[in-house]
Every structure is written in C-alpha cells, then in structure tokens.
Structure 1
Amino acid sequence: MQLTSVLTLALQLLAVDASALRPFKPPHVRTTRPQIHVGPKTLETDLPKVSPPRNATCHVKGGTEDDSAAILEAFHKCNNGGQVILDAGVTYTIGTVLDLTFLQSVDWDIQGTLTFTTDTDYWQANSLKYKFQDSSAFFAIGGKDVNIYGGGLIDGQGQVWYDLFVTEPTAKRPLLFVIDGLEDGTMSNLNMVNPPNWFNLIANSTSIVIDNMDLKVAAVGNPAKNTDGWDTYRSSNVVIQNSVIDNTDDCVSFKPNSTQVLVQNLRCNGSHGISVGSLGQYVGVVDIVEDILVYNTSMTNAGDGARIKVFPGAPADGSTSSGGGSGYVKNVVYDTYDVQNVDWPIEVTGCYTVNDADDCAARPPQFHISDVLFKDFTGVASKKNDPYVATVACPSLEACENIRTENFQVTSPNGKSEAKCSNVNEEELGLNCTA
C-alpha cells in the first residue's frame, strides 16, 4: 500500500473517532399538536376552538444557567401564529420570573426538561404574587388561543422547598404552572414532578381543556406539602381528563367561582380527594361553585374521596382569612367513583377548620349547599374511621338541601357501611346514618 493511501486511511479513521466524541445534538423536531377528544362526557358550553396551523417555529437553545430571557424572546418572536419549541434532550432552566400573559395564537412544544433554579430567597422576593391564599408563581401563561404539549418534563425542584417548609412554614413557595387570564387553551401530554406548592392553578380563564397529564410527587427527604394537582379559580368551561396524579393534597380543587367544570377519567393516589373548596375563607367575599361534574374517578390511599368544605361565617380571633365569606354550592355531581383505602369516601364539612360544635354554632357558615349527588360509589374505605365511610356535617338544615346518594356501595374493612350525619335530611341522603 502506498504511503499516501495509508495516510488517507488514518485521517479517515481519526475523523470518525473525533465525530464520535462530539456531544450529541438532538435534531430540531416539531411535535404535531395533539388532537384532543373530550369524552365520554362533555360540556354543554363552549370548548376551545380548534387552533389554525402555526406558520413559524422558534427553537430555544437552552442548556444555560438561566434560559428565561431566551424563552421570553422566543415567545415575542413567535407570538401571533408561531410555535415555541423546547427541544428533546435539552434542559431549560427558568431562573428569572416570567410573565407570559400576553400570548396570542401560539403553541408551546415542551419536548425537553423545563426546570427552575433553587434560589429560594430570589423566588420569595420576585415571584408573581396572588392575593388568594397568599400564593405565588414562577411564571404565568395567559392570552388567547394557546396550546401547550410535547411529551416533556416540568420539574419543580420541590425538595429544597419541602426542606425549607420545616423551618419556615410561611415561606412563599411558588406554584409550578399557572394559567391566568387564558381564553381557548389546551394543555396535554406532559409530565410534572415535585412542585414547591400546587402543581397547577387555572385562574381567570375560560374554555380550557387539560388532557393526558402525569403528575407525581417523589420526595426523598422531608415530605411534600400542599401539592394540589389542579386548582380552578374564577374560571369556567374547564375540562380536566385522562390523567394520573400521585400527590399529597387535593387531586383537584374547585376554588371560589369555579363554574361549568368537567373532571373525568382521573386516577388519584395519595391525595386529599377531589374537593369543592375551601370556600368562604375571606370576610365579605362571595364565593360560588356551580355546575360541576366529576366522572369515572379512581381514588386510592387518600384522606378523602369526594369532599365539600366551607369556612365558618366569621373569622377567628380577628383574622380576615379564617372565615366570614358567603356564597353557595349548587349542582355538583360525583358519578362513578371507586375508592380503595380512603379515610372518608364522602366528606361534607360545614365548618372547615373548626372542630368544636359550639364554636361552629356561634359563627355558622353563610353558605347554601344544594343539589349535590354522589352516585355509583364502589370500593373499600381505610380502617381509620371504621365502621364509618362517610361524614356529612351541615351547620343547619336550612344550609343543606337535596344532598343525595345513589347506589353507594362502599364498605369499611369490616364490611359495614355507616355514616356520621348532622343537620341533613337523612332520608334524602340515603346513607345509613348511625351517628
């Protein structure tokens, strides 16, 4: 073999070896927007309109200590008809608070990992602040015609916040994902893990569909706190469906002024149930929750199954956030509900946070709860309250009207099915009230 041929072959081999050592760069790929089918139940009111195809793409580079500016720039560039892409195999870090409530006709394709810095001092000082329950957020999405999807992961780095809670229980722990002021939006095909506080808040929004989400808390030290799956607040025409939630607080919570909400096909584990409320927390504020359907739920290892909770009619000790509001709960249906190892498969609390009957009588809730149905419940409760599987405690007979069960087939571990009932029409309720 001639010397030149040998040299050529050696150079080719070196080139191959060198290319193998280069860092892998995943290709830029667009995810096709999922086509979401709402079913088997649907809303009688408006669902989000089908978005037109997007005509531009903005790939965010990522991989730096703080990718917030690059993400914000991409949304400005691809707003009004584009698609912002977080590529697969890349980690994107938000280290600066982001207000993304200006979006119009844009898709957010999250294929990679979206995470957050763990500077708890910065986030407590600079996060977006909300008066309701003194909450805060890393960022918020709002506007009109926004779709969020992609199959990626949103990691809240919650453990540092769970550890902080032990020494600073009043620290402002950010919500992981906030939708605020959005009309016609969808969120689907994403994974979320370890939020500092709630996973999701849907506030001041209408015509929203959430589909095929996986939410998981995996604390490795101090336990997670307040990790609600979804909370709806001042929002209407919302669908949450086909999702798995493994957490330590409410699976879903209908906060004040949630109307026309459908929740279906959820698997909840470790939670505090699917809850109406809490309501009436603030003095002089009127709260309503109306037209809610929860269908086909699996609830395991939980404190509650289906729950309604309202604060007393006056605050305690001069506080302005421990009761004193008013309002009503109307037309709420829990249908097809399987419980396994759940402390209270049904719990209605007419004086939330108050354990003393005399105290509740002294400041009765200013709420009317009516037209509530618990239908087709099956399963076995936990042994915690054996033989009781339900508690319905209304502040007065006038406060609760038409609260019913149909085909309630839940038993305690010893096979009994008894209920604690107070100030409720027991014949109408249809449970075996023995206390």
Structure 2
Amino acid sequence: MRILSGILVIYLISIILLSHLTYVAQGRAHYHKRPRRGLSDPPPPSAPVADPPSVPSDPYPTPESNSCVFDVTSFGAVGDGSCDDTAAFRDAWKAACAVESGVVLAPEGGVFKITSTIFSGPCKPGLVFQLDGVLMPPDGPEEWPEKDSKSQWLVFYRLDSITFAGKGTVEGNGQKWWDLPCKPHRGPDGSSSSGPCVSPTMIRFFMSNNIEVKGLRIQNSPQFHMKFDGCQGVLINEIQISSPKLSPNTDGIHLGNTRSVGIYNTVVSNGDDCISIGTGCSDIAIEGVTCGPSHGISIGSLGVHNSQACVSNLTVRNTIIRDSDNGLRIKTWQGGTGSVSNLRFENIQMENVLNCIIVDQYYCLSKDCRNETSAVRVYDVEYRNIKGTYDVRSPPIHFACSDTVACTNITMSEIELLPEEGELLDDPFCWNAYGTQETLIIPPIDCLLDGSPVVEESNDSANYGC
C-alpha cells in the first residue's frame, strides 16, 4: 500500500512537470512566430547593399610630362657654341612634328649653332619650339655655307598652331654683316653711303597660321629680326628685340600679307623700323610696346614700282616711342594704287622723337623719283592723346599728301608735343590733307583743311582695289 502511494506521487509530479514544459514551449513558439503579412503591411526591409568598389584617385592618369619633349641634346646637339648642331635640331623637329603637342627643347645652358634651316610642316597640332638656351647662326658671311640662302636663317613654313617660346636668346651675330661695304652706313648726322645688299632675316614665319611668339630675347640680327609673310593669326607677347642704333636694315618686326595680329608688352630697340607693316595687312593690334631707339612704327613703304597696296584696321595704343627718327609714320611711293584706311593711334608717349606724326606720300630713296598722278589713298586716320617731346630739327607733325589723291578724314584730338630742347616749332606742315581738330592742338595745326576735296566725292574704295 505504501509502495502504491509512492508510485502515485511520482506519477502526479511527472504530469505537473510535463504540463509546465509544454506551456514554456508554446510561449517560446508564440514569441518567435512571424505574423502573416496583410496587403497594407509594409514590405520587409531589403537586404543590405554591399559598399561600391573603391574608385582610383586619378582614373585617367596623364602620360609622363616629358613623353612628348624632344631635347636636341638627345639627338646629338653639343651646345658649345662651336659645333654645328643643325642635324640634331632637324631630327628633333621631325620627331616633334609627328606627335600632338610635341616640344623641341633647346635646354638652358647650351649655346647652339645651326646653319640656315627651314622647319616645315604640316605637323600635328600644338607644336612648341622651346628655346631656353642660346641659338645662333654662323658668325658672319665668311662662315656662311655656300649652299645656304643668304636671305634667311630660321624659317617656319606651312605650319598651323606653332609656338616659339622660352626664356632663351636668339643671337644673330650681325656685326660682320653690318660692316659689309655694300651696307647703307649711317653717320651721326643721318647721312648714309652705299646701298642695301643681301643679308639674312633672322626669323621668318611663312604661310603659317595660329602662331605665338613669347618670352624670347632676339638680338643683333644681320637684317630684319622677325618677318611674317602670308600668315594669319599671330600673337607676339613679352619679347625683347635689340640691336645697335646704327645697325642698318634691322627692322624689329615686319608684317607682309598678314592678318589678325596682336603685338603686346614688347620692347624693341634697333637701327630701323621698330614695327613695319607692308601691303596686304589688316586687323592689327599693337599695345604696351616700347620702341627706341628706332625709326618708329611705320606703315610702308607702299606702292613701289606702281604697285597696288592695301592696309586696313590698325590700332596702336598705350605705347612709348623714344629717341627715334620717326614716331608714327605712313610712307608711300608716287604712282602706286590701293589704300591705307581705318587707323587709330591712341595714348602714345613720345620722348625726343623726330617727325612724331608723319604721312609722306613722296617717299623716295633717290633723286630720280617723279611726281605722278596716281597714289595710295590715305583716309580715316585718328590720332588721339599723343603727348611728349620732339627733336626740333623737324616739325613734329607732317602731312605731305599726294597732289591728286588727298589724305581725308584725319582726326586730331589731345595732341600735345613740346620741344625736347630749344624753342617751340609752331609750323606743322600740311599738303592736301583734310581732317578735323576736336581739341586744341600743340603745336597748332592750322594747315589741316576742313571737309573733303570735291574730287573725292566721285571715288569710293572700289576704285583703289582694296
């Protein structure tokens, strides 16, 4: 009986424990059970998105900075001022010409001598001739190779988008050329003897477009320092051109048949025209230029041998001309045709200049020139805010226009020119020149005629071929 009671107690305890475990199991199942989602319930959260792959800091790395630089010393240039480095420059040019943004480098510290060379195109865009050293030709006519042209030295031909720049020097070795007996040697009194003879222009751009020349020093050219022939789109900035005051035919910058030109922040001192502008030139801006000693800024000479000449749309402003034989000059030959028009000279400072403002339509290099009926027409010329001093050996204003084709529509405003030394010359010269004085002019220019000549009313620009 006692045994049955024990078994019964154990049985009752088992029943109680089993019921408790079932309750706990059901409670846990209820806690973890996912409720059934209705139509209005929000969707379950999406799985987390993995972080995007890291992006390189420079996905398009540029090539090595020197990958398109062709150093002439790598092509065999010695750069000692004695060896002939011509072949190295030609080879470096050929390599640079074949790639975009190629650079021909003449490095600092080298003195490179090369003979007359034509650097020709077409080339890939963006070509640069980087001169950081010194570049020079053979020393005088005796060293000049017989096979080379004596009329030019460095020629850049048929190029588009070319830069000639650097901190270096182009040295022309001009002294032995200037000393040739055929050169027109100028004495201290302005007299000259003999006539011109063949000597090389130092730098010539020929039939090329989109040219930039910047930062260079160009000096002692045998003849013209820089010429641009048949070019379009020229930018000259921050260069220095120099040669002695009495060096013959050493024009600084010459333009011929060239359009869209800017010459800025440049210093020129030489023995001839600071800047000369020939026929076929238009759309030219000259600003921030210092000239002198020199023969000033000249248009012409034009119309030689009864030829046609056209120059238009020129602006010269914020410029200094000092110690020069001329200031702002237009010079034409008798017998020519064409026109010079739409010129503006503004904010010009003169310092001891002979012939500050001059138009000479009787230009002649001998005593054999005759007065002729045809002439290059000069019209629409403005002179504004031109002040400073002049050399009293000649009146500061001189308008000598053709007998048959007058200069017309000349505008004078805020002109004040005083003698550098001596007494004021108050007799400016005018011949067949018509225009307007907007302000009081010093010295007074009573000889400028009002209105326009009757004969001009029947003429238009078409009659002059421009």
Tell me which of 56, 69, 76 is aligned to 1:57.
69
Alignment of 1:74-223 (within 5 A): 74-79=92-97, 80-81=99-100, 82-105=102-125, 106-120=127-141, 123=144, 126-128=147-149, 136-142=151-157, 143-166=159-182, 169-218=195-244, 223=246
**Structure 2 residue identity aligned to 1:66:** D
Deviation track 1:271-302 (CA, whole Å, cap 9, x = no partner) reads 1110111100134x321000000111101110
Partner of 1:4: none
- Work out the number of aligned pairs and report it: 358
Relative to 1, partners in 2 of residues 1:298 and 1:275: Cα closer, same or farther, differing over 3 Å?
Answer: same
- Work out which of the residue numbers 247, 271, 276 in structure 2 matches 1:248: 271
Task: Report the alpha carbon displacement of residue 359 of structure 1 after superposing the two structures with TM.
Answer: 6.0
**Distance in structure 2 (CA, Å) of the matches to 1:188 and 1:254:** 20
Q: CA RMSD in A?
A: 2.5
Change (3 A) 1:350 1:365: farther
Cα distance in 1, alignment partners of residues 281 and 181 from structure 2: 29
1:366 aligned onto 2:375: yes
The TM-score normalised by the length of structure 1 is 0.77
Q: Is the 8 A contact 2:374 2:405 kept in 1?
A: no
Q: 351, 373, 396: which is aligned to 1:340?
A: 351
Does residue 1:327 correspond to 2:344, yes or no? Answer: no
CA distance 1:384–1:60, change in 2 (3 Å): same
TM-score (norm. length: structure 2) = 0.72
Aligned-pair CA distance for 1:398: 3.7
The answer to whether the 8 A contact 1:419-1:432 is kept is yes
Unaligned segments of structure 1, at least 5 residues: 1-52, 130-135, 314-324
User: Does the CA contact (< 8 Å) of 2:171 and 2:219 recur in 1?
Assistant: yes
CA distance in 2 between partners of 1:339 and 1:90 (Å): 39
1:183 touches 1:207 (CA, 8 Å); kept in 2? yes
1:147-168: per-residue Cα shift (whole Å, max 9, x none)?
1111100000000101114578
- In the TM superposition, residue 353 of structure 1 has moved relative to its aligned partner by 1.1
What secondary structure is seen at the aligned counterpart in 2 of 1:290?
A: strand
Correspondence list, 1:400-411, <5 A: 400-411=407-418
Aligned AA for 2:250?
T
Higher relative contact order (CA 8 A, sep 6+): 1
**Given the superposition, is the C-alpha separation of residues 303 and 182 from structure 1 closer, same or farther in structure 2, using an over 3 Å criterion?**
same
C-alpha separation between the residues in 2 aligned to 1:71 and 1:277?
A: 35
| Structure richer in strand, relative to its length | 1
Which AA in structure 2 matches 1:241? Answer: Y
Preserved CA contact (<8 Å) 1:300 1:340: yes
Name the structure 1 match of 2:312: 290
Instruction: Please tell me whether the aligned partners of residues 193 and 218 of structure 1 are also in contact (alpha carbons under 8 angstroms).
Output: no
SS of aligned partner of 1:85: strand
Matched, 1:265 2:265: no
* Number of the residue aligned with 1:23: none
User: What is the CA–CA distance in structure 2 between the aligned matches of 1:125 and 1:381, rounded to whole Å?
Assistant: 46
State whether residues 280 and 287 of structure 1, in contact with CA within 8 Å, keep that contact through their aligned partners in structure 2. Answer: yes
User: Given residue 258 of structure 1, which amino acid in structure 2 is its aligned partner?
Assistant: C
Q: Please tell me whether the aligned partners of residues 252 and 274 of structure 2 are also in contact (alpha carbons under 8 angstroms).
A: yes
Contact 2:409–2:435 (Cα < 8 Å) also in 1: no
Q: Whose radius of gyration is greater, 1 or 2?
A: 2
The answer for the alignment partner of 2:327 in structure 1 is 305
Looking at structure 2, the residues matched to 141 and 112 of structure 1 have their Cα atoms a distance apart, in angstroms, of: 19
1:286-345 superposed Cα distances (whole Å, 9 cap, x missing partner): 2100000011110111011100000110xxxxxxxxxxx321101011111111110110
